[in-house]
């Protein structure tokens, strides 16, 4: 029976799958068994080559070693036996599934705040791309119809796969049912809810412009590091660039 070799790429740092598959693979595998939570395989490379590799040396030091295996997805090494050529992989969501985009969830009920955020995000991305090893793009929600947000849409997949989700949660009206509380755009709330469910907390940033005509309590219970209140364009310009770059540091994009 012929051996079907699978290519595997070592994930030393964030690298989207489209870029990952353009470079040479780091390991060749022959799969023995596939379970819901893991994979067992024999490596087909020379033992000496494997033992001297960067990823194996890091494995010996106790680091978590991530691989992307073609046709199967992301894994971490659970155990390895050089003598028998066996590797046990544990299934894990890896950052390679993310795309180098910042997803901006805007609202139309009070467009002033979204226009300020959009302009500043475009400026921030332009400056970051001057030192980023991967080009970062801005992708936005669309409000072309009055229909409901479809969670299985291409746009929601972009939200889920973005490096950073930024939402405009500026108040649009007072809450008639709860005194001293404001209402947010319902469409924005749907996307924020989906982001909270599908993304890590450090990949979410909600911004709200303070409105003197709409005082009230912010209705979402989020950590302070995920919130960006601002009064005007000047204050947003001072705070947003630093905050966005800090949120992207974990991807090791900047030289």
Q: What is the pLDDT of residue 83?
A: 93
Q: Is 113 helix (H, G, I), strand (E, B) or coil?
A: helix
Is 121's pLDDT higher than 90? yes
Is 34's pLDDT higher than 90? no
User: Where in the chain do CATH 3.40.50.360 domains reside?
Assistant: 98-251
132 band by pLDDT with thresholds 50, 70 and 90: very high
Residue 106 contacts residue 168 (beta carbons within 8 Å): yes
**Which architecture, in CATH terms, is 98-251?**
3-Layer(aba) Sandwich (3.40)
- Pick 255 or 239 by higher pLDDT: 239
Question: In 3D, which of 23, 17, 43, 18 has the Cα closest to residue 32?
Answer: 43
Average pLDDT of the residues of the chain: 91
Residue 70 contacts residue 105 (beta carbons within 8 Å): no
**pLDDT tens per residue, range 49-93:** 999 999 999 999 999 999 999 988 999 999 999 999 999 999 998
Q: What is the pLDDT of residue 215?
A: 81
Mean pLDDT of 183-200: 91
Q: What is the pLDDT of residue 231?
A: 94
Mean pLDDT of 238-254: 93
Look up the pTM and report it. 0.85
CA separation for the pair 253, 100 (Å, rounded): 10
Alpha-helical runs (H) found in 138-202: 154-161, 186-198
């Amino acid at each position: 029976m012929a051996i079907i070799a699978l290519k595997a790429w070592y994930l030393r740092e964030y690298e989207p799958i489209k870029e990952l598959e353009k470079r040479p693979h780091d390991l060749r595998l022959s799969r023995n068994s596939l379970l819901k939570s893991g994979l067992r395989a024999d490596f087909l490379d020379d033992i000496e080559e494997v033992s001297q590799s960067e990823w194996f040396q890091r494995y010996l030091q106790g680091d978590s070693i991530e691989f992307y295996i073609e046709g199967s997805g992301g894994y971490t090494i659970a155990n390895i036996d050089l003598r028998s050529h066996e590797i046990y992989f544990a299934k894990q969501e890896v950052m390679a599934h993310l795309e180098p985009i910042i997803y901006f969830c805007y609202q139309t009920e009070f467009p002033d705040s979204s226009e300020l955020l959009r302009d500043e995000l475009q400026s921030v991305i332009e400056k970051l791309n001057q030192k980023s090893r991967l080009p970062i793009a801005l992708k936005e929600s669309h409000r072309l119809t009055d229909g409901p947000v479809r969670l299985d849409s291409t746009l929601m997949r972009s939200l889920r796969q973005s490096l950073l989700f930024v939402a405009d949660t500026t108040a649009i009206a007072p809450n008639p049912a709860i005194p001293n509380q404001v209402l947010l755009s319902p469409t924005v709330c749907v996307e924020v809810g989906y982001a909270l469910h599908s993304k890590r907390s450090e990949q979410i940033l909600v911004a709200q412009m303070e409105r003197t005509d709409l005082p009230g309590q912010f209705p979402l219970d989020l950590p302070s590091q995920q919130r960006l209140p601002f009064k005007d364009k000047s204050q947003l310009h001072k705070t947003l660039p630093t905050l966005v770059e800090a949120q992207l540091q974990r991807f090791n994009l900047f030289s």
